């Protein structure tokens, strides 16, 4: 068998080998699962796991569908708001769902909470948490970087802390760790559903949870007790055979899958891993795979419940949840002979370690071919920096394997030739690896341990070793490597791989080094080869919790004041967007025709802009400044059709808005891929945009645009993209008679006065059309609240 095989089909049945994971098949619980009362987490009182609701929902769904269900379907349909009447067709129906919890990181939480405040509700309807991980910039090392961040961001942290206290939200202080690792350690539960305002929320799929990244407006719906809407996902099955070993890690599974499916191959689908190979993966290894599923556009990814998850739950002081999940395991795995829309097979026994990139996470190269690819493509061979950690690969197991490699190099008298940084995923991981000597292992070979935060992974890196525009190479164990993502340098070639390969390669300082086959010279002049990395799935002495960085909300937060200064440049209360005027959009200038890859990083840059995430006016000054203008090949330089001048995208957009002129954006394929940041939709709306027309959208961004009252429209004929330029005006006709499912006419008026019509389509449904008419989903929520 080859290491991976893609079986494309509209519907494929599971193979008999599924039997090992589906011994109970379609069986249902013999006794009422709801007779047990198990807390959802150790940090929230009175919030219990509701497996009984899932059981009841699935009994209804099974009687209606009369077919085996995938594990993803069991969780999704088990959370239907109305299973009796809900239309259910994968890839077609819009489902109304009731997630169990919401999680927000600090950069997105600001806008989510500001929107929730507008709803005027006393507390969140479901358990919610906020995690301070995005605003800490990496400069010199953990403690100093954290102290500086707490000082610089005091206003924002105070706002979040008081808002969380007022609205019953758990607050994780700066230094706690990265949201996804905190969720895995404290809140993830097999079979439950969570939405999070970060695209890597699917990390919790490593504990068998359907966890989806969303924009803040979706989070506000759930926090306000409104069902969450999601198009019924298709399900892509990834069958894992064989056994993981040697230099191959769980990271290599998702690097391989990314190479097969590409950055948009998972759009509209849940990736469901299954098969006997699952048993050789640790719980945190499964989380790594699910985490990076965001890079293929997947709604989420998940694994079936197994003993490795039970072990992790026990190690994180949640034995009661482990036992409860074991009692419910008939619904925590796929049914025998369930159908997948597409199927991939990977043999873990023959899977090679991979390195993906540069500039895109789906350019997958096995390590045996990587050196030749470096030479063939003239990628800078010198490795400037190796970075391990992040939300994707910062578990105890990851760190223990990297420490093993570091110790072996140190035993030969070597220090890292490249800069080497280490980011612990949480305070618990940091304290535990410090106790067990791993931090000492990293520091003695020249490594720098950064704060428990996102840091360079999201562009929070004050990098000094190269100048902007200087071509260079870095290797990370992160998840995303778009142009300029890590250090704002478009010439940095960023490669993504496992922590093992990153650690080994920093001792060679060269991309061409293959630790599986190549030797290094020790300080004694003798050559040696690295042995296969060894690590520990879980700490033998248990986890050390470290410092207590959690703030629980008071029983009654009604008296807590959440102050936002009118003069603040970090926080700004929101004003409602104007509702639709009931007219067609006539001769709206094309603000920019974006060429090629246009991610949410291009639409709303991260890095230093993160500090303005709570101030819509200020952060809107970064709108589309990274997008490439198809007319001139430049970034942040577009035509102002009012006077014929050229200027920055936000400046031209604001001039149209202030003159009462709506405008549109034209985009290419998979527009808005990457981060879940809703600012990429809020900013165009704030600056006067009315529609985005492109060849295809990334799921989260398309939903975010709808939520803010924008029209996300697809070219009916993708080739029509070529008919439009930045000198054109766009009329969107027939809006008064529009019904969901209908196409719309778009009239293009060219600079010379010539006109031509094209067709566009959309995925807008009835409820979403209501958002457009109301001006935004938040406007509709507020209006409904007034009626009630």
Q: How far is CA 237 from CA 82, 181, 331, 438, 519, in A?
A: 27, 25, 17, 37, 39
Q: Which of 101, 134, 404, 430 is catalytic?
A: 134
134 given a catalytic annotation: yes
Q: Which of 354, 404, 677, 701 is catalytic?
A: 677
Q: Residue 609: name the closest of 214, 146, 137, 154 by CA.
A: 137
Q: Which of 310, 655, 675, 776 is catalytic?
A: 675
Give CA–CA dist 230/213, Å, rounded. 12
Give CA–CA dist 78/207, Å, rounded. 17
**Under 8 Å CB-to-CB from 411, ≥6 apart: which residues?**
none
448: left (phi over 0), alpha (psi -120 to 50) or beta: beta
Exposed e or buried b per residue across 149-177, where buried means at least 16 C-beta atoms within 10 angstroms of its C-beta: bbeebebbbebbbbbbbbbbbbbbbbbbb
Q: Residue 108: name the closest of 702, 680, 626, 614 by CA.
A: 614
643 given a catalytic annotation: no
Torsions phi, psi for 352 (to 5 deg): -85, 150
Give CA–CA dist 685/731, Å, rounded. 18
**Under 8 Å CB-to-CB from 413, ≥6 apart: which residues?**
522, 523, 524
Q: How far is CA 762 from CA 164, 697, 757, in A?
A: 37, 10, 17
Give 194's strand partners.
101, 211
Tallying the residues shown for the chain, one arrives at 788
112: its two tokens: 């989510």
Q: Radius of gyration of the chain from Cα atoms?
A: 25
Q: Which of 106, 133, 145, 487 is catalytic?
A: 133
Strand, coil or helix: what is 760?
Answer: strand
480 given a catalytic annotation: yes
Give CA–CA dist 111/572, Å, rounded. 9
51: left (phi over 0), alpha (psi -120 to 50) or beta: alpha
Helix axes 777-787, 766-774, angle to 10 degrees: 90
**Under 8 Å CB-to-CB from 501, ≥6 apart: which residues?**
247, 353, 355, 367, 475, 515
378 given a catalytic annotation: no
Q: Which of 100, 106, 145, 198 is catalytic?
A: 198
743 given a catalytic annotation: no
Burial degree of 314 (CB within 10 A; 0-12, 13-18, 19+): middle
**Under 8 Å CB-to-CB from 679, ≥6 apart: which residues?**
111, 604, 613, 616, 619
Give CA–CA dist 167/243, Å, rounded. 47
17 given a catalytic annotation: no
- CB atoms closer than 10 angstroms to residue 567: 4
Give CA–CA dist 267/301, Å, rounded. 11
Q: Residue 204: name the closest of 353, 100, 118 by CA.
A: 100
Q: Which residues are tagged catalytic?
A: 133-134, 198, 480, 675, 677
């Amino acid at each position: 068998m080859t290491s991976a095989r893609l079986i494309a089909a509209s519907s494929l049945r599971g193979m008999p080998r599924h039997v090992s994971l589906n011994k109970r098949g379609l069986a249902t619980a013999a006794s009422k699962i709801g007779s047990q009362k198990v807390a959802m987490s150790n940090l929230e009182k009175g919030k219990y796991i509701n497996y009984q609701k899932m059981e009841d929902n699935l009994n209804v769904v099974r009687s209606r569908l009369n077919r085996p269900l995938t594990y993803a379907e069991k969780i999704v349909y088990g959370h239907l708001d109305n299973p009796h009447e809900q239309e259910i067709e994968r890839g077609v129906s819009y489902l109304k769902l009731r997630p169990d919890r919401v999680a927000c990181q600090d950069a997105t939480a600001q806008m989510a909470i500001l929107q929730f405040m507008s709803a005027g509700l006393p507390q969140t309807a479901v358990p919610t948490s906020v995690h301070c991980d995005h605003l800490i910039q990496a400069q010199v090392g953990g403690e100093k970087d954290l102290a500086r961040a707490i000082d610089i961001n005091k206003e924002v942290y105070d706002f979040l802390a008081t808002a969380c206290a007022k609205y019953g939200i758990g607050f994780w202080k700066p230094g706690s760790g990265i949201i996804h690792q905190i969720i895995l350690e404290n809140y993830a539960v097999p079979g439950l559903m969570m939405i999070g305002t970060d695209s890597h929320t699917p990390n919790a799929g490593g504990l068998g949870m359907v966890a989806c990244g969303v924009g803040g407006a979706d989070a506000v719906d759930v926090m306000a007790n409104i069902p969450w809407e999601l198009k019924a996902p298709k399900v892509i099955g990834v069958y894992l055979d064989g056994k993981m070993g040697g230099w191959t890690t769980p990271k290599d599974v998702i690097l391989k899958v990314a190479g097969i499916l590409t950055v948009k191959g998972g759009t509209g689908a849940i990736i469901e891993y299954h098969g006997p190979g699952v048993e050789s993966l640790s719980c945190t290894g499964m989380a790594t795979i699910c985490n990076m599923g965001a890079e293929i556009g997947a709604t989420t990814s998940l694994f079936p419940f197994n003993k490795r998850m039970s072990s992790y739950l026990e190690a994180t002081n949640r034995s009661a949840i482990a036992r409860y999940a074991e009692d419910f395991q008939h619904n925590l795995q796929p049914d025998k002979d369930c159908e997948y829309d597409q199927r991939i097979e990977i043999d873990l026994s023959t899977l090679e370690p991979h390195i993906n990139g540069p500039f895109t996470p789906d350019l997958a190269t096995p390590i045996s071919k990587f050196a030749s690819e470096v030479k063939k493509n003239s990628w800078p061979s010198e490795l400037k920096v190796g970075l391990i950690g992040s939300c994707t690969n910062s578990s105890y197991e990851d760190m223990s394997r990297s420490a093993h490699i570091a110790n072996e190099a140190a035993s030969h008298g070597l220090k890292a030739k490249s800069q080497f940084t280490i980011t612990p995923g949480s305070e618990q991981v940091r304290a535990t690896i410090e106790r067990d000597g791993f931090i000492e292992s990293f520091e003695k070979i020249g490594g720098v341990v950064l704060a428990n935060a996102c840091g360079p992974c999201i562009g929070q890196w004050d990098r000094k070793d190269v100048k902007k525009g200087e071509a260079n190479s870095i290797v990370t164990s992160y998840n995303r490597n778009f142009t300029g993502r890590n250090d704002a340098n478009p010439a940095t070639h960023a490669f993504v791989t496992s922590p093992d390969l990153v650690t080994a390669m920093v001792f060679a300082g060269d991309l061409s080094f293959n630790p599986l086959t190549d030797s290094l010279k020790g300080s004694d002049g003798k050559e040696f080869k690295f042995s296969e990395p060894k690590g520990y799935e879980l700490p033998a002495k248990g986890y050390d919790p470290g410092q207590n960085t959690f703030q629980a909300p008071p029983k009654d937060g009604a008296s807590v004041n959440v102050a936002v200064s009118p003069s603040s440049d970090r926080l700004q209360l929101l004003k409602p967007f104007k509702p639709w005027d009931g007219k067609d959009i006539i001769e709206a200038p094309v603000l920019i025709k974006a060429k090629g890859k246009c991610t949410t990083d291009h639409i709303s840059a991260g890095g230093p802009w993160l500090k303005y995430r709570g101030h819509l006016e200020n952060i809107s000054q970064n709108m589309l400044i990274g997008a490439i203008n198809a007319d001139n090949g430049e970034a942040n330089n577009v035509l102002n059709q009012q006077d014929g001048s050229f200027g920055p995208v936000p400046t031209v957009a604001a001039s149209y808005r202030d003159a009462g002129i709506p405008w549109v954006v034209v985009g290419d394929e998979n527009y808005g891929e990457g981060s879940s940041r809703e600012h990429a939709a809020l900013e165009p709306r704030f600056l006067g945009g009315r529609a985005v027309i492109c060849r295809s959208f990334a799921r989260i961004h398309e939903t975010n645009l709808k939520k803010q009252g924008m029209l996300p429209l697809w070219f009916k004929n993708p080739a029509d993209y070529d008919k439009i330029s930045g000198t054109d005006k766009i009329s969107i006709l027939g809006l008064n008679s529009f019904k969901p499912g209908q196409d719309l006419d778009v009239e293009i008026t060219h600079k010379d006065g010539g006109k031509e019509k094209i067709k566009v389509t959309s995925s807008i449904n009835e409820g979403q059309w209501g958002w457009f008419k109301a001006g935004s989903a938040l406007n509709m929520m507020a209006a409904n609240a007034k009626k009630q």
